[in-house]
Amino acid sequence: MTSDTERHRHVPSRLPHSDEGPALAARLLAAPGEPALELIEAEPDGSAGGAPLLFVHGAFAGAWCWAEHALPFFGRRGRRAAAVSLRGHGGSDGRDRLRRSGLDDMLRDVRRAVEAMPEPPVVIGHSLGGYLAQLLIGSARMRALVLVGSLPPDGMALVGPRLAMTETRIWSEALAATLANSRAAIDLAGLEILFGEGVPREEALRYGARLIPESPRALAEAHLPRPVLPAFLAGLPTLVLNGAADRLVWPATAFRTALYHGAGHRLFEAGGHFLMLDPCAEAVARHILEWLARRDL
C-alpha cells in the first residue's frame, strides 16, 4: 500500500441539473523516489457500496476533468470515487520532469493509484489514460475496466497518422505546444474538436486553459504498439464508451477496441472526445452506473 502525505486541499465540485454534490478533497500520494500524485476524491453520501472507482485522465489533462461532473455524480450515489493526476499533470509533482517522462513512468503512477484504493477498483480511463489501463490488464488488481474515448489496444500507431491527415489543425497545435513546451491557448476551432460543439463557449475556454503540454516522449512511445492482453482472456469485465462526434478517436476505432476485448459497447450521439465534460456527461455516468449494477460491482 502506498504511503500518503497528510496534505489535503478542497477543490470545487459542480454537477449541472442536480442538487449540490458531495465535497471533493485532494490528497497527495507520496512514494520514495517518485513524484507525489494528486488524488481527488468524492466522499460517498451515506454508506459506500460497490467496488471503488478510479478515474484516469488522458493526455494534456488532469484529474480535474473528472472532478467537474463524474466524481460528484458517483459520490452522490454512494460510490467511492477518486481521480488521479499523472506525474506533471493537474496538482501532481513532476511538471519540471514531464518532458522526460515516458509511458512506463505513467504506468507506475496508475499502479500507485490502484494500490492506494481500499480494495481492487473499477478503473475508468479516458484517451491515453484508457491505453495505460489496457497495458495493465492481467498485472494490476482491477475489478473491471471502462474505456471512455480511449485509444485502442495499439495506442496511437494508427490514430496518430490518421489525426495528422484528418485533423491537421489540432494535431499541429498539439505537436507544436508539446515540442515547444508552450501553454499557448488553443483557438475556438480546436476547442470544438476537443470538446464538441455542444459544450458552451465559456466552458470550452475554461477547460482549454487547463490543458498542458504533454510529454513528447510519452506521445512518441504511444505510437509504438505494446502487447495488450485482451480483457476477456483475463476475465476482466470491460465496457467501451465513445462519442459519435469524437473526431480524435473515431467510433469505428472504439468498436474495434470493444471487439478486441470482448467488451460491451455504447455510442453516445453528438458526444465529443471529452465525454466527461460533454452535455451528455450525466448520461455517460448513468450508463456506467447501470452497467456496474448489472454485474454486481
Q: What is the pLDDT of residues 43-82, one digit of tens each?
A: 887 777 899 999 999 999 999 999 999 999 999 999 999 9
Q: What is the pLDDT of residues 171-216, one digit of tens each?
A: 777 777 666 665 555 566 677 788 877 899 899 999 999 999 899 9
Question: What's the confidence (pLDDT) of residue 261?
Answer: 99
Q: What is the mean pLDDT of residues 127-136?
A: 99
Pair 103, 221: CB distance under 8 Å:
yes
Pair 65, 37: CB distance under 8 Å:
no
Higher pLDDT, 6 or 63: 63
CATH topology of domain 4-294: Rossmann fold (3.40.50)
Q: What is the pLDDT of residues 32-41, one digit of tens each?
A: 999 999 999 9
Q: What is the pLDDT of residues 216-264, one digit of tens each?
A: 999 999 999 999 999 999 999 999 999 999 999 999 999 999 999 999 9
How far is residue 21's CA from residue 294's CA, in Å, rounded to a whole number?
24
Q: Supply 208's cell numbers.
A: 482549454
Q: For the chain, what are the domain ranges?
A: 4-294
Higher pLDDT, 188 or 2: 188
Q: Is the pLDDT of residue 279 over 70?
A: yes
Question: What's the confidence (pLDDT) of residue 13?
Answer: 37
Q: Is the pLDDT of residue 15 over 50?
A: no
Question: What's the confidence (pLDDT) of residue 8?
Answer: 41
Closest CA to 84 of 63, 105, 66: 63
**Residue whose grid cell is 507544436:** 176
Q: What angle do CA 165, 276, 264 make, to 5 degrees?
A: 80
How far is residue 130's CA from residue 56's CA, in Å, rounded to a whole number?
7
Q: What angle do CA 138, 123, 231 make, to 5 degrees?
A: 35
Question: What's the confidence (pLDDT) of residue 10?
Answer: 41
User: What pTM, to 2 d.p., does this model score?
Assistant: 0.91
Q: Is the pLDDT of residue 23 over 90?
A: no
